[in-house]
Chains A and B, each alone.
Chain A
Amino acid sequence: MNEGWWGVNNHIKALRARHNLTQAELAERLDVSRQTVNALETGKYDPSLPLAFKLARLFGQRIEEIFVDDSVLE
């Protein structure tokens, strides 16, 4: 799980690897830049809702399964 110091945690990198996608390929499918994908994976950037839904549809997961809300665990 990627832990960013100013974004929520997420499983994007693991899901990308499971689907055998490079960052560039994932960026192409999401219609974003590779820099955005990298920032998402490292937790440095939280996506907008439309982008989060795109990720969920692409990976066949719910948004809550991709992004982890740490505040729920406290």
Chain B
Amino acid sequence: MNPTHTKPALPSRERRVWKTMWVMLAVALSISAAVLVVSVLRSRAQGDTFDFLSGMTTGLLFGLPFGMAFFLYRAYRQMDEFGQRLQERACGFAFVMTMLAASAGFVIVSSFKVALPLWGLYLFGMTAYTTAVIRGSLAARGGHE
């Protein structure tokens, strides 16, 4: 009888990091869902209820980046030294690229009197970060087991 080939379990460190990332994603999605529900309720509310729900929406949205920052920090602390260095380099690269983009944005806004969306800067920064992480991960490859 041939033994059933089973995929080996992930090492404990990688399991911890993945678990933290999944928890972070679940929390972010939960908060986003809560914001959506509150927004729908707010659209149908009036008076004091409307003000309450408006405040609740603002509070939830305000807490979202802090919550994500907390879980990102936890995930970073659970990474090994190579993973931490990869993240540090990616964040440094993304920071520089985002600052350059913001500088260009200032020039464009002041010169052409146009309004640039803030989400564009966020998207640019996240793209730079993601690119740096992928580039760093691929550059570290090359060997075979």
Contact = CB atoms under 8 A, between A and B. Distances in A.
Contact of A39 (B13, B14, B82): B82
Interface of A: 2, 13, 22-24, 27-28, 31-36, 38-39, 41-42, 44-45, 47-48, 51
Contact of B81 (A42, A44, A48): A48
15 contacts: A2-B143, A24-B11, A27-B13, A33-B11, A33-B13, A33-B14, A33-B83, A35-B83, A35-B137, A36-B81, A38-B143, A39-B140, A42-B142, A44-B140, A47-B81
Nearest to B14: A33
Interface of B: 8, 11-14, 79-83, 85, 137, 139-143, 145
Main secondary structure of the interface of A (DSSP, over half): helix
Contact of A28 (B11, B83, B85, B137): B11
Given A22-B145, A44-B142, A34 B11 contact: yes
Contacts of A13: 143
Contact of A38 (B11, B80, B85, B140): B140
A13 to B, nearest CB: 7
